[in-house]
A and B are shown apart, each in its own frame.
Chain A
């Protein structure tokens, strides 16, 4: 049967026009409109390697158990822990993350999400400076200049350029690509850079210096000449870029991890945001981040409105505290400052520095995921995951922080649970029962 307008649960674009043809008898799925990454995830619905049974590790051996036994053991680990870490990954719904946050609060643990190893610095930069933002549709309809900074959109978010950034015909950009100027700032000559009108090939880790120089030019001053050697960009080209931006009607800047995870981190973003604010004295200009996962923005929104902080929320003292570098996943694991972990919908072991990953494999870990990965291999309890946007409904926040409600096209394969949210609610009940006993 063919289903239309399915939301794609992969990258931050959370495309809403995917069409799937699911053959439940032959267990095949045909996907239209999605990119390669999206297609690969849709194939998980019918894949042979899907985690279908809960497992626990007993005396070093992994064995299949019932859902109830697995949840019991998971609850035991969490209740016995003196300071558990909840890594609430972003390829699941806000509804599931919310339950996870509440368990963390109840146990006095720490709740964190993918932003901590991804666009966390972007969020911190926004806290420092505020952000002139816009929805993706605004940029599509109005922007006649697009700047990709530290991001290779063509490969990391393949449909961004065609849906929002460069090629679509917008209301005031009726000729699509011909009505837009494209600038890329990237140390590498990426496919995105090749497709650009101007490519500033900066030296790695000099984003702050370049932004600072552009800002100085915008303020009518001459940047110090040493900037040419530092960034590898002539001052004349910087001036050209500022002029091109000032002469545009609407500039949309998209930043990637090249800005937020190179030297300077949130300071780079803060400077970019301040530059954008000032640029609005000359023309309309906004900035947005190309977020990596379908709901990575959702955790930031959720944690902010529930507890006041976007990620790395520490409930140790009974009230939320936040200090990236102290209450964030990598740092807590490196400092051995947690003694158990609950990892949901994220392969944490595979994505953090070796020291932190090593400690994570040494402490009791519960993993909720759809497919085998290093994290599930190292986990003491594995709970099978339900695939959001395919097997259950819920909410994602897209890259531009727009909430997107998604509907499933098939059901959860597990009679015991309808969604990750329900799995977490069952776990929370068991945790409460054990804690209060």
Chain B
């Protein structure tokens, strides 16, 4: 198990390095010269141009620039912003650094338990009207993109009934709508999976045995059957988290939330590529850490996987 964890950790570092390479290479493909964009109306000023190129390290050969990039990631400044003069990328992103992860983590903490409860509810009533209604809701929840959902919810909750603020950040009320919109798709996804897994588990012999010995249905469901759906559910947490991180880009844009997702999009329009790439890199690193934790968790939980992974 420890050997497996060590191997996965080494793999994680490899993925980070490749992600760094990809973001570096991506910036090289961006059309146009960032220094000329910075100079704009003073584009004839050769001295200034040379100084700016030196400041950004763009006068050096590419391999050296890559080492600079690595060094700036290592020291936590992430280089200089193209949009704000004499400002490191870290200073640009530090204000909203935690907002997107907090939104994503809050959403997943609500979505998973809620989805499991809904899924069990539907599975217990398989093929009834309640089940069909839940399934219909789940398909809509999975299908309708978050910004389309936002249009309906903002219209109803903020404009028609004025129970929640339209946009903004700072009070608990401002948190409700963005989290609600982030929560719906993963809840529906988890509920649908839980329903499928539960229906499978409920047909197995040990469930019949539990029922036959007169155990109350609630205990059969929650103590015996549900436990067996946890490992397959756990394996999907990584995918859900990736969706939530992407979702913060949309939700922060809609509700004017000063997080990294909105900043990344703003920086694309401002051609501030160091900021965009840093945010993409940070989100990818965060995503890979979550995936690693998930993999280690279900390896530890399921003896079958644990044994094969350790042997392999």
Q: Do A and B bind each other?
A: no
Please report B residues at the A interface, Cβ cutoff 8 Å. none
Which residues of A line the B interface, CB within 8 A? Answer: none
